[in-house]
Chains A and B, each alone.
Chain A
Amino acid sequence: MTTQDEKDRLELLQGTLDLLILRTLILGSQHGQGIARAIQQTSDEELLVEHGALYPALQRLEERGWISAKWGISTNNRKARFYSLTSAGRKQLGKETARWNRLAAAIGRVLGPQES
């Protein structure tokens, strides 16, 4: 992975980061770096998580009570802050996903059938 690659990646739409974080955490608790990596991997390296934006987003979600955090030890024995989904977060994820799907479908209809 080079800097060159990163230019082609999709920038995250504002607000979608929250959704992706919640979606990632449904698989189990994870620390910030892990979340960023998971998003990149599951999107086949298409989505770039700006690490600087990640932590304020985590902070925001934590304040809203959708995720909770505690310090733990990572798989390679490093101290890290692990985030996990709360039940409110689970509900929120459902709502956000439905909204995203509606939005994506609507945008798809506006853009029309694809050329290729």
Chain B
Amino acid sequence: MFRRKRTASDFGAEIEAHVELETERLREQGLSEEQARAAAHRSFGSLMQAEERFYESGRWLWWDHFWQDARYGLRMLRKSPGFTTVAVLALAIGIGANTAIFSVLDGVILKPLPYPQPEQLVGVEISPLALDPSLRGMAPEYLFVFRDQSRTFQDVGLYAETDADRDVNVTGLGEPERVHALPVTDGALSVLGIPPMLGRIFSRSDDSPGAPPTAILTYGYWERRFGASPSAVGRLITVNGTARQIIGVMPRNFRFLDSQDLALILPLQLDRGKTFLAHFGYYGIARLKAGSNLAQASADVARMIPIALRAFPPQPGLSRDFLEKARFAPNLLPLKKEVVGNVGTLLWILMGGIAMVLLIACANVANLLLVRTEGRRNELALRAALGAGRRRLAVQLLLESAVLGLLGGVFGLAIACAGLRFLVASAPAGVPRIGDIRVNLPVLLFTLGIALFTSLLFGMIPVLKHAGVRAGLPEGGRTLGVSRERHRARNLLVTAQVALALVLLICSGLMIRTFLVLTRVNPGFARPAELQTFRISIPDSEVPDDAAVPRVLQQIQDRLAAIPGVSSAGFSSAVPMDGSNRLDNVYAEDRAYAQGELPPLRHLLFVSPGYLRTLGIPLIAGRDLSWADTYNRVPVALVSANLAREYWRTPSEAIGKRVRISTVDDWRQIIGVVGDVRHDGPDRPARTDVYWPTLRAQLQRRPLRVDRSVTFVVRSPLAGSEGLMSQIRQAVWSVDANLPLASVHTLNYFYTRSMARTSFTLVMLAIAGAMALLLGTIGLYGVMAYSVSRRTREIGIRMALGAQRWNVMRVILGEGVFVILIGLAIGLAGSLALTRFLSSFLFGVTATDPPTYLGVAALLAAVALAACYVPARRAMRVEPLVALRYE
């Protein structure tokens, strides 16, 4: 197809041969050489013409035309810079926004995990169906059984979460440092299939108890602390006071699932001989054997769960019967799903919303093109008269559109790069794989694709309208009447714009309502912006005796409370909305439990006296904890009001009742009932909480236990300021100078973070909605203004014939109102159909919330009417005489 069948020179040779033959024949008939040659040429007609006709039939012609048309298109665009700027800008915004969201979608969801054969990797967890099927976790007994007996796993490993509490102190390398560390068993690294850059990774012997302590460095930490020296392998590093030998360094591009800023990977040593059942708190990861699938692996795990339950003894206080009643079941997910979680819906919704903006931009550009092509009717007719075929004209119009689209794509890419930075910075915490987001080849292809697709979309409309223009100039070039048909095309586009804009605006309206409802929800605590929080861990090396830990913490709390401006201070194992979860079954003494029956899971918090007051959690009945309760290990507890009502009807009746966690615990008397706290965020119902003293004896099957890692809260109007933090640091270090402060945030940080998904969706949809409104309004205004300007003469005649100014305005406005009403109706129907995809993001409003629908429709109608009013008023002011002289 890309080669001509015959070259032009071959054709030329044939013609030459013909002329020679003809000359010879004529000479034979008696003509002289010159006469014969002249006659031969003459009889041929025009040689040039013949060659040209040959050329026209050549296959390469389309390519020549293509370049010619592309150059012509560029020239035409350069000749009208205003039109080109507006069109390219509208497209660039639309394409840019789409490219940005697509980059996120690609980086987070579409791109495979960066490991070999990632489809074989699975997250292996166990869920207790009878307790709470949404809980997932992994326990050591399963690791041992899976290693020995699995038929579907190549290998399997366990790892622990890398939260702030698992940070480790590294000493002996200059300044002491607190870094993220990841504890893993053998298998957890090897299943990923990424070999170490230097040295080796853990083997089965490294994670056996009693093995010499080892550690693996990440590339970043190796570069930062060891100057990227290969001799780091074999050296010793002191982690939490233990000297560990460095056995390997991971490569630069290695990332363990979604862990950020990881410095060290440490062996997680589990002792098979000391394993008790159901010590959940780990995560499992495995690589499937070739040919095995997830369902087979699930069945395999289901087979092995009873084996594990028989192979190990239960923890003290837990009966085998209890564990069987819990109904442990496999909960396996493809590893990518485990990493990505449920962020997909959000991204697809954003992609859809932004795609609508692009459609609106397309409609705008199509409208501009229509107007422009209208103005070029003469030119097109002339070209048709000069022999350009219908297809040639169509191709030329499309090429102009493609040039526009590609220009839009180029600028859109620039906008996308800038927008991505904003997106990545403002994405809610917990958007996974955020580091994987970048403009790469698939993204570039996507941009090229939508640039061409949109060109085709908006380019087809003028082509359908105009390419069939007849050869023959339109009479006189007058513009008295614009054909109704062409007008209909523009109105249709505007109707679509109004409809799309309404859908987007309703979506953002619903999100705004959701956000407002959320901020009005009482979270259960007061004025979070005034609460400064930070975490402290007291290591064994500082305070070896568990019982002495609360004394140190109390001293800190007292020093904090003494800071000027601080009204109160306290500490707790966790603060609201920090994402923590500590659950256990809580028994009530006056409830009857059948043999092996499990009471519901409750959330446990271990708090200091004063903590509840500091947060502003109201005491509804009874009294708060006291330090005497704590130190004397008095068996007491506080419960949230919803728990009190569930068991004892009213809060006051709950006072004096007794609860405990395991059947071997002491019973604990309820001394107070406090207000409910929405610990999981304002959009989630309040949990049922039980508050216990930070030092407790005979609770959760332990003789004595204390929290060494706690979150302090300090209420001060200066919360969040560096001034307060330096006073706080001094107060803490005046008690113990070796205690680093971690996770310094105000409570407001956790509060806003809990609504981050809502506010992010809100901001993104609001941006899309605003763009839609702006583009739609511009489109509507443009069409109305154009229509009025084309009809100036007609209006002048009407007025000269006695039409009232108000009538003229009514006619013009009526045309706009009609388009708007149809658009609104379609938009409302579309919203009813589409907003249900948004329903998982809504809180306190339904997806079909009538006030939102009506309010947004009214707003859009008002803006649209204003866009029509300006041209309509201009029409009303037309002076008949001026108008008639107009052309």
Contact = CB atoms under 8 A, between A and B. Distances in A.
Instruction: Say if A and B assemble together.
Output: yes
7 contacts: A33-B17, A51-B18, A51-B44, A51-B45, A52-B50, A55-B11, A59-B11
Given A32-B14, A80-B18, 8 more contacts: A31-B17, A51-B43, A51-B44, A55-B50, A59-B57, A76-B21, A78-B21, A80-B21
Interface residues of B, number: 24
Interface string B2-29: 0001100001011101101110110001
A91 B422 CA distance: 71
A52 B47 contact: yes
Contact of B50 (A56, A63, A76): A56
Contact of B54 (A1, A56, A76): A56
A59 B17 CA distance: 16
Interface in A45-72: 50-53, 55-56, 59-60, 63
Contacts of A76: 21, 24
A37 interface: yes
A34 interface: yes
Given A50-B45, A53-B45, A78 B17 contact: yes
A56 B51 CA distance: 8
B591 interface: no
A29 B43 CA distance: 23
A90 interface: no
Interface in A83-103: none
A16 interface: no
Given A1-B29, A52-B50, A55-B11, A74 B57 contact: no
B520 interface: no
A53 to B, nearest CB: 7
Contact of B18 (A33, A53, A60): A33
Contacts of B21: 31, 33-34, 74, 76, 78, 80
B22 A51 contact: yes
Contacts of B13: 79, 81
B231 interface: no
A60 B47 CA distance: 17
B224 interface: no
A69 B123 CA distance: 70
A55 B15 contact: yes
Interface of A: 1, 31-34, 37, 50-53, 55-56, 59-60, 63, 74, 76, 78-81
Given A1-B29, A32-B14, A81-B14, A52 B54 contact: no
A52 B46 contact: yes
A81 B15 CA distance: 9
B362 to A, nearest CB: 40
A52 B20 contact: no
Name which of B14, B22, B44, B49 has the most chain A CB atoms within 10 A of its CB. B14
B46 to A, nearest CB: 6
A53 B46 CA distance: 9
B54 A55 contact: yes
Contacts of A34: 21
Contacts of B45: 50-53
Contacts of A37: 25
A4 to B, nearest CB: 13
B25 A80 contact: no
B488 interface: no
Contact of A60 (B20, B22, B43, B57): B57
Interface in B18-74: 18, 20-22, 24-25, 29, 43-47, 49-50, 53-54, 57
Contacts of A32: 14, 17-18
A81 B18 CA distance: 9
Contacts of A31: 17-18, 21
A60 B11 CA distance: 13
A55 B20 contact: no
Please give me the 4 A-B residue pairs with the lowest Cβ-Cβ distance, nearest first: A52-B45, A33-B21, A51-B44, A56-B53
Contacts of A53: 45, 50
Contacts of B25: 33, 37
Contacts of B14: 32, 55, 80-81
Contacts of B6: 59
A30 to B, nearest CB: 11
Contact of A52 (B11, B49, B57): B49
Nearest to A51: B44
Nearest to A33: B21
Contacts of A55: 11, 14-15, 18, 50, 53-54
A53 B188 CA distance: 81
Contact of A63 (B5, B24, B29, B47): B5
A80 B24 contact: no
A53 B47 CA distance: 10
A55 B44 CA distance: 10
A38 B25 CA distance: 13
A53 B18 CA distance: 13
A80 B17 contact: yes
A99 B50 CA distance: 28
Nearest to B46: A52
A59 B21 CA distance: 19
Nearest to A32: B18
Contacts of A78: 17, 20-21, 24
Contacts of A74: 21
A78 B20 CA distance: 8
A1 B45 CA distance: 17
Interface in B49-107: 49-50, 53-54, 57
Name which of A31, A33, A55, A80 has the most chain B CB atoms within 10 A of its CB. A33
A51 B11 CA distance: 14
A59 B20 CA distance: 20
A104 to B, nearest CB: 27
Contacts of A81: 13-14, 17
A33 B57 contact: no
A51 B46 CA distance: 9
Interface in B726-781: none
B17 A56 contact: no
Contacts of A60: 57
B18 A59 contact: no
A31 B14 CA distance: 9
B220 to A, nearest CB: 67
Contacts of B17: 31-33, 78-81
Contacts of A56: 50, 53-54, 57
A56 B6 CA distance: 13
Interface in B484-500: none
